[in-house]
Amino acid sequence: RNDNIDAVHEGLLRLVVWRLTSLQNGERPKQLTLDIDGLPIEVHGHQGGSAYHGLYGARIYSPLVASLAETGDMVGGLLREGNAGPAENADTWIPHLVRRLNESTGAQVRVRIDAGFTDNATLEALEDRDIEYLGRLRSHKGLQKLAAPLLKRPPGRPPEQPREWCHDMEYQAGSWPVPR
């Protein structure tokens, strides 16, 4: 079974490399962004590996999927049981996938993760391997207070086109031993 999954992942990586080089006139990209998401799949009956998940109110499988932000191409997936927590196995799977993608493309690979993957184990696994990441955090009053000075609109009339600004700031979640 693992051989089958490895063959699927290898095939996906080959397709991604072929598509990326085709889109860029034979040039390989220098940077890529890997988008990691959970993909709850509802099942009916008591399928092996499925479990009731209270958030979805149904029996599900809870695989992880990875796609390229630049093209939307799927790069990999990790089968997990329905009662898996959002970040379960992410701390080993994501770095492995980043390494494989880097070896296949030669690109620097950064990772974009949702709030469910910003647990300390996953972030430490990325940091230990010097993998750049962008993680969304769940909003709460403490984080909103910290960000409030950065959210004020500049003086003058509102622009016709919406604008976005990025600011760096340090924050330490309760489950993290250090600020990030």
Mean pLDDT of 149-171: 80
CATH number of the 2-137 domain: 3.30.420
Residue 107 pLDDT exceeds 80: yes
Residue with tokens 């309760």: 174
Q: What is the phi/psi pair of residue 155, to 5°?
A: -65, 160
- Strands laid side by side in the 74-78 sheet: 74-78, 64-68, 31-38, 108-113, 133-135
Distance of CA 85 to the CA centre of its chain: 15
**Cα separations in angstroms, 47 against 43, 59, 131:** 7, 9, 36
What average pLDDT does the structure give for the chain?
89
Q: Can you give the pLDDT at residue 12?
A: 87
Residue 148 pLDDT exceeds 90: no
Mean pLDDT of 126-140: 93
Q: Can you give the pLDDT at residue 2?
A: 63
Mean pLDDT of 127-152: 89
pLDDT in tens, 30-39: 999 999 999 9
